[in-house]
Structure 1
Amino acid sequence: CWMKGKKRYITLDEGQRKELLAGFKTGKKPVFRMRCHLILLSDQGHGVQQIAELYQLSRQSVANWFTRYEQGGITALHTMQGRGRRPILRIDNAVEVRQVEQLVDRHPQTLRPVLAALSQQGKVLSKRTLQRFLKRLDGNGNGSEEAL
């Protein structure tokens, strides 16, 4: 290593340790569980380089998560809002939901005309994506598809 600096570890108190252990064991997202584990490993005396090699991350990524944890606690280990691709259709957008429901009501036998109408409006999506959207609508109790 070309630069030897001060070894960096995070020391936890019992409450923090329990909180991180619960996050590691029962967190909803795998990436959140992994981040909790990074901090727990540091508390157990594993260095940044060891943890980086274990999880196949860069040393800088591990150090950044240490900093995020030190500044914001366990909540800082969650992925922030606004990451990832924006949805083509939003289930919480009442205008889009109503529009899709009307198109499906007009063409109950096939989704091809629904997809064509949506693509004319700049909402290009696959049949499978539309099916997932309709299924989520149905799960929310908006009886868009009464009986299939």
Structure 2
Amino acid sequence: MKKKFIELTEAEKITLQEGEKNGKARAFRERCHCLRLSAEGYRVKELAGIFRVCEISIYTWFKRWEVGGMVGLRDKTGRGRKAILQAEDLAVVKEKVQANAQRLKVARSILKEELGREFSTKTLKRFLKSLIADTSGGGNV
């Protein structure tokens, strides 16, 4: 039979409270809050209603807490869409953009053919901007 609630020590309650207050991601803060409510006696069905998720999600959060603690409640890396332009493309992008510095649309069309990937001029601009941010030493200009 599955656990209906989580038992927490005082230290764990404080840790979850801090995570709920100071966590960057909304999902992480919600998971911390859910575990605290579970320790206060809320049942899984009630928690699923409060957080608008299915009961399986609540049980998953419980398991992630038991296995990984606070780290287990965080989203794993690698989620979301992968970047179209990668670090490996840096040399080619630099070369083509420098050759067509005033005409990014031309550089983009050349890069599209060479790399075999579809992307917009705006994507190219964001990639170039990220390169500038990376090479500026953390924003100290």
Q: TM-score, normalised by structure 2?
A: 0.84
Structure 2: distance between partners of 1:68 and 1:111: 46
| In structure 2, distance between residues paired with 1:104 and 1:124 | 17
User: Superposed, which structure 2 residues align to 1:1-148 within 5 Å?
Assistant: 8-90=4-86, 93=87, 95-120=88-113, 121-141=115-135
Instruction: Write the distance in 1 (CA, Å) between the matches of 2:41 and 2:32.
Output: 15
Structure 2 CA distance, aligned partners of 1:86 and 1:64?
A: 26
Structure 1 residue 98, shift from structure 2 partner = 2.3
Give the match's secondary structure for 1:140. Answer: helix
Query: Structure 2: 5+ residue runs without aligned partners?
Result: none
Q: Which has the higher helix share?
A: 2
Amino acid at match of 2:122: R
Letter in 2 for 1:28: K
Look up the match of 1:146: none
Count of aligned pairs: 136
TM-score by length of 1: 0.81
Task: Kindly provide the CA deviation profile for residues 29-83 of structure 1, in whole angstroms up to 9, marking residues without a partner as x.
Answer: 2221122122112112221111111121011111111111112111111112332
Runs (4+) of structure 1 moved beyond 3 Å?
A: none
Rounded to whole Å, the distance in 2 between the matches of 1:40 and 1:78 is: 16
* Cα separation, 1, equivalents of 2:3 and 2:31: 19
8 Å contact kept, 1:7–1:47: no
Structure 1: segments with no counterpart, 5+ residues: 144-148
RMSD value over aligned CA atoms? 2.0
CA distance in 1, matches of 2:16, 2:116: 44
CA distance in 1, matches of 2:135, 2:18: 33
3-state DSSP class of the match of 2:91? Answer: helix
